[in-house]
Amino acid sequence: MTQSTISDISRALIEIAWHFGPKGLNGECCENLTMPEFIALDKISTTSQCAVQDVGYSLGFTKSGATRIVNRLEKKGYVQKIKSHEDARICCVEITKSGERVLSSANTRYMEQFHTIAAKMPEHSVADTVNMLKAMATALKG
């Protein structure tokens, strides 16, 4: 029992998580966007009237962590903070044109990565693989 204490399935999950995770893809998703920044930017782009804490929530960060990541994105010119008219405490975070561009570019990079991998899986069709991953992602949220 000295060798191979962990199972294939754990190893596979880890491999995937590591490759597509914060450290994979050379530690950056696209240009100067880290993985958490990518997730944050996606959240912001798909949420109208996105409060700073909403960003933190989707990343599992504290609210101060949320402030920091939004500030970083703002400094890079990818988002803007605008005070809400309804409630002056809330900052609505909005994606800029530049942010949309970089988000779409990061997406492209992800897709390329995925297709490179998918091409190396002769036993599985790309469509099946995609379906399974989507199902898994859905299951993760539920």
Partner DNA sequence: AAAAGTGGTTGACATCGTCAACCAATAGAG
Partner DNA sequence: CTCTATTGGTTGACGATGTCAACCACTTTT
Sign for the CA dihedral angle at 7, 9, 15, 21 comes to negative
Q: For residue 62, what is the enclosing H or E element?
A: none
Query: How many residues of this chain interact with DNA, rule: CB under 7 A?
Result: 26
Per-residue string for binding with its own copies, 46-75, x by CB under 8 A? Answer: x------------xx---------------
Measure the CA–CA gap between 102 and 28, rounded to whole angstroms.
Answer: 12
At 50 the three-state DSSP class reads strand
Does 22 contact its own copies by CB under 8 A?
yes
Q: Tell me which residues touch its own copies (CB under 8 A).
A: 1-24, 35-36, 38-39, 42, 45-46, 59-60, 95, 100, 103-104, 106-107, 110-111, 114, 117-118, 120-121, 123-124, 128-142
